[in-house]
Structure 1
Amino acid sequence: MLPTDSFMCFPGQMWEKVLSKVKKAVVFMDDHCSESLHWNGGAACLFQAGARNVKRFSSFEAGGENEPKAVFVVSTLLKGRTADIIKDIISLSHFQYCVVFTAVPHSVHLLAGTVSPEVEGSPVFERFEETLREWMGDMNYTAEVLHAQLLFAQLSPQLLLLPSFADLFPLLEPDLGSVNGSRPEKRRFGSLMDVDMHSLPPELQIKIKSLASALNALFEFSRTREESFAVGPMSRLIAGELASHPQAKNRRKTAVNKASVVFIDRTLDLTGAVGHHGDNLVDKILSVLPPLPGHVTDVQVDMVELTRLRCTSEVQGVLTPGCLAQNQSATARLLWETMLVAKQKEAVMEVRRQLVEAASKENLPFKMNLGRVTAEQLSSYVQLFRGSWGALESHCGVLQLGLATVQTLRHADLTRWDACLAFERLLLQQFSTEHRSVVMDASFPV
Structure 2
Amino acid sequence: MSTSVKEFSTAWWSEVYNRIIGAVVYLDDASAECLHWDGGLFNLLTGGAVSVKSLSPFEFSKKEHRKVVFITQTTSTQLRTIAEIIHNSDFTHCILISCASLDTVYMELNEGKDVGDVIAAGKGTIEATKILETLLLDAIGKSQSMVEAVHIPIFAISLTNVIFLTPPYQKIYPMYDSKLIPDTVPLDLFTLTSEQRSQVRRLASGLNAMFDSMNLKEDIFYMGTYSSLLAGVLENSPVCLARRKNCSNPASLIIVDRTLDLCGVTSHSMESVLDTVMAVLPRFPGHSNEVAVDMSILCEANVVNHPDDMQLSPGCLYHANNDSCMQTFDYMINKSQKEVMFDLYNKLSKIDIQRSPSPKTLMKVTPQSVEKIVTASKGNYNIIEKHLGVLQQAVAVVQTLKSPKRVQIELLMSLERQVLQNLAASRDSTSVLHQISHLIKTRKERNLSLDSLLALIVYVYSLVGTEVSFSKQHEDSLIETLSVAIFEDHKQLFSSEEGGRIATPEECDDISNKIMRRLKDVSQMRKILQKYNSVLKPCETGVGHEYRGVLQQLVDDLVDTERPEITDLRHRNEGLKDLLRSGLNILTSKKARSSKHPLDNPTVILFVIGGITAEECKRLHRSIITSGVDNTVLIGSTKLVTPVEAMRDVLQL
TM-score calculated relative to the size of structure 1: 0.89
Helix, strand or coil at the partner of 2:89 = coil
What residue in structure 2 maps to residue 171 of structure 1?
A: 175
Q: 2:202 pairs with 190, 202, 210, which one?
A: 210
What residue in structure 1 maps to residue 277 of structure 2?
A: 285
Q: Is the 8 A contact 1:378 1:406 kept in 2?
A: yes
**Residue 91 in 1 paired to residue 87 in 2?**
yes
Q: Is the 8 A contact 1:427 1:439 kept in 2?
A: no
Q: 1:53 pairs with 47, 51, 55, which one?
A: 51
What residue in structure 1 maps to residue 319 of structure 2?
A: 326
The one-letter code of the counterpart of 1:427 is V
Work out the CA distance in 1 between the residues paired with 2:193 and 2:304: 50
**Residue 106 in 1 paired to residue 102 in 2?**
yes
What residue in structure 2 maps to residue 351 of structure 1?
A: 344
**Residue 146 in 1 paired to residue 138 in 2?**
no
Name the count of aligned residue pairs: 427
Work out the CA distance in 1 between the residues paired with 2:90 and 2:228: 48
Residue 253 of structure 1 and its aligned partner are, at CA, apart by 4.3
Helix, strand or coil at the partner of 2:222 = strand
Work out the CA distance in 2 between the residues paired with 1:31 and 1:406: 28
What residue in structure 2 maps to residue 33 of structure 1?
A: 31
Work out the CA distance in 2 between the residues paired with 1:2 and 1:150: 17
Q: Provide, for residues 305-357 of structure 1, a one-character-per-residue CA deviation record: whole Å limited to 9, x for no partner.
A: 11234565699532111011212211111111111211222222222222113
The one-letter code of the counterpart of 2:318 is A
Q: Is the 8 A contact 1:213 1:245 kept in 2?
A: no
Residue 426 of structure 1 and its aligned partner are, at CA, apart by 2.6
Q: Provide, for residues 206-235 of structure 1, a one-character-per-residue CA deviation record: whole Å limited to 9, x for no partner.
A: 110110111111111112232322221101
Q: Is the 8 A contact 1:366 1:384 kept in 2?
A: no
Residue 439 of structure 1 and its aligned partner are, at CA, apart by 5.3
Residue 35 of structure 1 and its aligned partner are, at CA, apart by 0.6
Helix, strand or coil at the partner of 2:103 = helix
Q: Provide, for residues 177-198 of structure 1, a one-character-per-residue CA deviation record: whole Å limited to 9, x for no partner.
A: 9x86xxxxxxxx3x4xx11113
Root mean square deviation of aligned Cα: 2.4
Work out the CA distance in 2 between the residues paired with 1:28 and 1:433: 57
Going from structure 1 to structure 2, the CA distance change for 1:253 and 1:126 (only over 3 Å counts) comes to: closer
Q: Provide, for residues 285-319 of structure 1, a one-character-per-residue CA deviation record: whole Å limited to 9, x for no partner.
A: 00110111111111110111112345656995321
Residue 34 of structure 1 and its aligned partner are, at CA, apart by 0.5
What residue in structure 1 maps to residue 9 of structure 2?
A: 11
Q: How does 1:426-445 map to 2 (within 5 A)?
A: 426-434=418-426, 436-438=428-430, 440-442=432-434, 445=437
Work out the CA distance in 2 between the residues paired with 1:197 and 1:176: 15
Going from structure 1 to structure 2, the CA distance change for 1:163 and 1:278 (only over 3 Å counts) comes to: same
Going from structure 1 to structure 2, the CA distance change for 1:379 and 1:216 (only over 3 Å counts) comes to: same
Q: Is the 8 A contact 2:68 2:93 kept in 1?
A: yes
Residue 200 of structure 1 and its aligned partner are, at CA, apart by 2.4
What residue in structure 1 maps to residue 300 of structure 2?
A: 308
Segment drifting more, 261-270 vs 25-34: 261-270
Structure 1's unaligned 5+ residue stretches are 181-188
Q: How does 1:248-397 map to 2 (within 5 A)?
A: 248-309=240-301, 312=304, 316-359=309-352, 364-368=354-358, 370-397=362-389
Helix, strand or coil at the partner of 2:350 = helix
Going from structure 1 to structure 2, the CA distance change for 1:174 and 1:57 (only over 3 Å counts) comes to: closer
What residue in structure 2 maps to residue 417 of structure 1?
A: 409
TM-score calculated relative to the size of structure 2: 0.62
Residue 169 of structure 1 and its aligned partner are, at CA, apart by 1.4
Q: Is the 8 A contact 1:355 1:381 kept in 2?
A: yes
Q: Provide, for residues 30-84 of structure 1, a one-character-per-residue CA deviation record: whole Å limited to 9, x for no partner.
A: 001101111111111111210001001011111111110000110133x3x2122
The one-letter code of the counterpart of 2:415 is F
Q: Is the 8 A contact 2:300 2:379 kept in 1?
A: yes
Helix, strand or coil at the partner of 2:22 = coil
Going from structure 1 to structure 2, the CA distance change for 1:155 and 1:313 (only over 3 Å counts) comes to: closer
Work out the CA distance in 1 between the residues paired with 2:242 and 2:137: 36
Work out the CA distance in 1 between the residues paired with 2:83 and 2:167: 26
Going from structure 1 to structure 2, the CA distance change for 1:173 and 1:389 (only over 3 Å counts) comes to: closer
Helix, strand or coil at the partner of 1:297 = coil
Q: 1:240 pairs with 222, 226, 232, which one?
A: 232
Helix, strand or coil at the partner of 2:349 = helix
Q: Is the 8 A contact 1:133 1:140 kept in 2?
A: no
Work out the CA distance in 2 between the residues paired with 1:26 and 1:409: 41
Q: Is the 8 A contact 1:349 1:373 kept in 2?
A: yes
Helix, strand or coil at the partner of 1:416 = helix
The one-letter code of the counterpart of 1:20 is N
What residue in structure 2 maps to residue 125 of structure 1?
A: 129
Helix, strand or coil at the partner of 1:382 = helix
Q: Is the 8 A contact 1:230 1:264 kept in 2?
A: yes
Q: Is the 8 A contact 2:303 2:311 kept in 1?
A: no
The one-letter code of the counterpart of 1:307 is C
Q: How does 1:68-87 map to 2 (within 5 A)?
A: 68-77=66-75, 79=76, 81-87=77-83
Going from structure 1 to structure 2, the CA distance change for 1:26 and 1:2 (only over 3 Å counts) comes to: closer
Q: Is the 8 A contact 2:292 2:314 kept in 1?
A: yes
What residue in structure 2 maps to residue 185 of structure 1?
A: none
Q: Is the 8 A contact 2:318 2:325 kept in 1?
A: no
The one-letter code of the counterpart of 2:405 is D
Going from structure 1 to structure 2, the CA distance change for 1:119 and 1:113 (only over 3 Å counts) comes to: farther
The one-letter code of the counterpart of 2:269 is H
Work out the CA distance in 1 between the residues paired with 2:82 and 2:177: 39
Q: Is the 8 A contact 2:6 2:157 kept in 1?
A: no
Q: Is the 8 A contact 1:103 1:150 kept in 2?
A: yes
Going from structure 1 to structure 2, the CA distance change for 1:404 and 1:244 (only over 3 Å counts) comes to: same
Helix, strand or coil at the partner of 1:227 = strand
Work out the CA distance in 2 between the residues paired with 1:233 and 1:428: 27
Going from structure 1 to structure 2, the CA distance change for 1:358 and 1:226 (only over 3 Å counts) comes to: farther
Structure 2's unaligned 5+ residue stretches are 440-653
Work out the CA distance in 1 between the residues paired with 2:376 and 2:273: 23
Percent identity at matched positions?
28
